[in-house]
Structure 1
Amino acid sequence: MTQGTVSRIAIPVGDPNGIGPEIALKTVAAYAGRDDVALTLFGPANVLRDTADMLGLGEALAVASVEPSAPVLQDGFRPGEINAQAGAAAVDAATRAIEATQRGRFDAVVAAPHHETAIAQAGIVFSGYPSLVARVCGQPEDSVFLLLIGGGLRIVHVTLHESVQHALGRLSPELVADAARAGVRTLARLGIDTPRIALMGINPHAGEGGLFGTEDGAITEPAAAQLRAEGFDLTGPAGGDMLLASRAHDLYVAIFHDQGHIPIKLLSPQRASAISIGADVLLSSVGHGSAMDIAGKGVASARAMIETVAMLGHVTAPATTKGKAP
């Protein structure tokens, strides 16, 4: 961020019945009084008001910029409960924030966690924020990928919320290369211009020369050759265990959901950032769920969201958070 400018961040509050409204308000309180970050909340006004009252953060809400989403939740607002109204509200808030960012009103979106079952109950086809960003931005869904950042690792996923069988059916050298390219472009926006890339294999040991399967020879090896021809500094394809153990790379390319999620969640279970990359709009959610078991209790930590705002806003995160359980 250029000195003297303000980073404008849109914050959709996720599932209203989860911890999203709570951590969004705690994040606003943490950045209160700062002149380098401007935060705008997207979510049902009654949910934000009631949550602010519960947390004793009415003052933070009063000075925050709020763009209520529609419809306002009434019967559907029950913290800890999974229901269709809350699922629809989460998608509505995120959609409005993405649209506003695409129009240039904001620099990035930091989204609170959604609940996929609640969204499914609302009859909405949804497989995560990357697919939503793609649809709102008018791009193919397979052009937007998930980049997880946490525990000193940055891992971009070629496939995400789908069965392994389905993922294998649509893998191609170009899809793998596109994920790596999207990761490189995003790292440049985060200040890393020439990253060292590690490409994980599809099979153990990346197939061990065909001993453990031929998929790597047909997919990841041609992708690696293409990326090297384009000038990228790339290792692999190789076994993900070996690559991660080396900790020698700036960007790791995982083929499947669990290849990338397990190491991040192990090293940074509550403080990871999940960035949807490949579209004009940069959206990051937090690397944890909606925590229905503690929703409405005022004990959720907002640290992951606070640090994600700092990362996308190119600013320093507050050392402490106002309110309970930062």
Structure 2
Amino acid sequence: MAGLDRCDSRVALTAGDPNGVGPEIALKALAVLPPEQRNRVTLFGPVAVLQKTATSLHLQDVLSSITLVSAGEMSTDFHVPGQVDPAAGRSAIESATAAIQACRRGEFDGVVAGPHHETAIAQAGIAFSGYPSLVASVCGLTSDSVFLMLVGGGLRIVHVTLHESVEIALGRMRTELVMAATQAGVLACQRLGVSAPRVALFGINPHASEGTLFGQHDAECTVPAAHALNQSGLSVSGPMGADVLLANHATDPHDLYVAMFHDQGHIPIKLLAPQSASAFSIGADVLLASTGHGSAMDIAGTGQAKPDALLRSLRMLLGLAPLLHSQASVS
């Protein structure tokens, strides 16, 4: 992105699950950034674990060159790379919460959160269904007000529903929810520099229900959502089958796709950008970006983790100050 070095965005970076690759990729990403960008990043996480990780990677100079905020404190006695542990899950949530709160206070322009481990968080007794739900909770919003948008492989895909069974997701699928996800996605695109995004809605059922041959769901939900969104002045196509829309992306590209379910949006992104996708929590006053991959417990502590996805998210938010403070809105 042009002009990154001249931007003044301040970003809060969190270590994610300390038993996963989060601390490693955070330090490796910071090591790649030039000093003028690194100086605008503050790292939130368990200090003892970050110091131990920096030593193992020979990146003590990187850690000493940045502002470090102790959050989600975890003794190295309980730090076992690759082990799913409730203390590590709690640490990821505490560090992310502290970063989001600091962003809300105006100390930062955005948050980049390291990868979490949902089982570890669940074992800690914390209700959690992904970073969007955490952003909603900290910002005092309902859980269906903040959505996940994946960016990678030339695609931007916002998800109407996320970490829940298809049965539960289908049960709460409403025109208003599809519209809210789309509008949040459009505003996020505008923040990312796409002023008038072309949007396409995936259908709920195969072939967007083929009229009503495969059910009434699209007729009752996505079709009226598309109509209302177009009436509001947005450029929205569909609903159509996700397979058709994605197959035609090369010849008829859209700036934003709206997936109804988790796998509709995750599969194409992870196929095209398995290790480099960014995940945005959108719809709140705090813009949070994370990685499109998990905590990679199988390689945690081995030094093999690549920081590509986290680095991409950092670079995007570091270059967004004028857009984050603009008055772009959904028309």
In the alignment, which residue of structure 2 is the partner of 1:93? 95
Residue number among 178, 199, 202 corresponding to 1:200 in the alignment:
202
Q: After TM superposition, give the deviation of residue 32 of structure 1 in Å.
A: 4.0
For structure 1, which runs of at least 5 residues remain unmatched after alignment?
Answer: 316-326
In the alignment, which residue of structure 2 is the partner of 1:189? 191
Is structure 2 residue 310 aligned with structure 1 residue 305?
Answer: yes
User: Cα–Cα, structure 1 residues 175 and 100, in superposed 2: closer, same or farther, change >3 Å?
Assistant: same
CA contact (8 A) 1:7 1:37 kept: no
Residue number among 287, 291, 298 corresponding to 1:286 in the alignment:
291
Q: After TM superposition, give the deviation of residue 34 of structure 1 in Å.
A: 2.2
In the alignment, which residue of structure 1 is the partner of 2:263? 258
CA contact (8 A) 2:47 2:73 kept: no
Is structure 2 residue 301 aligned with structure 1 residue 296?
Answer: yes
- Identity %, equivalent residues: 57
CA contact (8 A) 1:6 1:36 kept: no
Alignment of 1:40-59 (within 5 A): 40-59=42-61
CA contact (8 A) 1:190 1:312 kept: no
Partner AA of 1:302 in structure 2:
P
Is structure 2 residue 25 aligned with structure 1 residue 20?
Answer: no
- 1:44-79 residue CA offsets vs partner (Å, 9 max, x unmatched): 000000000000000000111100114333432111
Is structure 2 residue 43 aligned with structure 1 residue 38?
Answer: no
Partner AA of 2:303 in structure 1:
G
Distance (whole Å) between structure 2 residues aligned to residue 37 and residue 301 of structure 1: 22
User: Cα–Cα, structure 1 residues 77 and 2, in superposed 2: closer, same or farther, change >3 Å?
Assistant: closer
CA contact (8 A) 2:7 2:319 kept: no
CA contact (8 A) 1:5 1:36 kept: no
User: Cα–Cα, structure 1 residues 246 and 298, in superposed 2: closer, same or farther, change >3 Å?
Assistant: same
Distance (whole Å) between structure 2 residues aligned to residue 198 and residue 85 of structure 1: 41
Q: After TM superposition, give the deviation of residue 311 of structure 1 in Å.
A: 1.3
User: Cα–Cα, structure 1 residues 15 and 36, in superposed 2: closer, same or farther, change >3 Å?
Assistant: closer
The CA RMSD over aligned residues, in Å, is: 1.4
CA contact (8 A) 2:7 2:318 kept: no
CA contact (8 A) 1:195 1:249 kept: yes
CA contact (8 A) 1:7 1:36 kept: no
Distance (whole Å) between structure 1 residues aligned to residue 150 and residue 37 of structure 2: 28
Partner AA of 1:285 in structure 2:
S
Distance (whole Å) between structure 1 residues aligned to residue 45 and residue 299 of structure 2: 20
Alignment of 1:52-201 (within 5 A): 52-201=54-203
Q: After TM superposition, give the deviation of residue 37 of structure 1 in Å.
A: 5.7
TM-score, length-scaled by structure 1: 0.94
Q: After TM superposition, give the deviation of residue 3 of structure 1 in Å.
A: 7.9
CA contact (8 A) 2:4 2:319 kept: no
TM-score, length-scaled by structure 2: 0.93
Q: After TM superposition, give the deviation of residue 310 of structure 1 in Å.
A: 1.1
Count of paired positions = 315
Over 3 Å off, 4+ runs = 1-5
Distance (whole Å) between structure 2 residues aligned to residue 179 and residue 190 of structure 1: 16
Distance (whole Å) between structure 2 residues aligned to residue 160 and residue 299 of structure 1: 29
Q: After TM superposition, give the deviation of residue 295 of structure 1 in Å.
A: 0.6
Distance (whole Å) between structure 2 residues aligned to residue 220 and residue 70 of structure 1: 41
Q: After TM superposition, give the deviation of residue 28 of structure 1 in Å.
A: 1.3
- Secondary structure in structure 2 of the residue aligned to 1:135: helix
- Secondary structure in structure 1 of the residue aligned to 2:93: helix
User: Cα–Cα, structure 1 residues 212 and 35, in superposed 2: closer, same or farther, change >3 Å?
Assistant: closer
Q: After TM superposition, give the deviation of residue 35 of structure 1 in Å.
A: 4.7
Q: After TM superposition, give the deviation of residue 293 of structure 1 in Å.
A: 0.9
Partner AA of 1:163 in structure 2:
S
Partner AA of 1:115 in structure 2:
H
Distance (whole Å) between structure 1 residues aligned to residue 7 and residue 52 of structure 2: 33
Distance (whole Å) between structure 1 residues aligned to residue 64 and residue 28 of structure 2: 13
- Secondary structure in structure 1 of the residue aligned to 2:53: helix
Q: After TM superposition, give the deviation of residue 2 of structure 1 in Å.
A: 9.1
Q: After TM superposition, give the deviation of residue 300 of structure 1 in Å.
A: 0.5
For structure 2, which runs of at least 5 residues remain unmatched after alignment?
Answer: 321-331
CA contact (8 A) 2:38 2:66 kept: no
- Secondary structure in structure 2 of the residue aligned to 1:78: coil
- 1:136-186 residue CA offsets vs partner (Å, 9 max, x unmatched): 000111000000000000000000000000001111000000000000001
Q: After TM superposition, give the deviation of residue 27 of structure 1 in Å.
A: 1.3
CA contact (8 A) 1:110 1:308 kept: yes
In the alignment, which residue of structure 1 is the partner of 2:277? 272
- 1:65-123 residue CA offsets vs partner (Å, 9 max, x unmatched): 10011433343211110011000000000000000001111111111100000001101
Distance (whole Å) between structure 2 residues aligned to residue 71 and residue 139 of structure 1: 27
Residue number among 228, 235, 238 corresponding to 1:236 in the alignment:
238
Residue number among 7, 10, 20 corresponding to 2:9 in the alignment:
7
In the alignment, which residue of structure 1 is the partner of 2:326? none
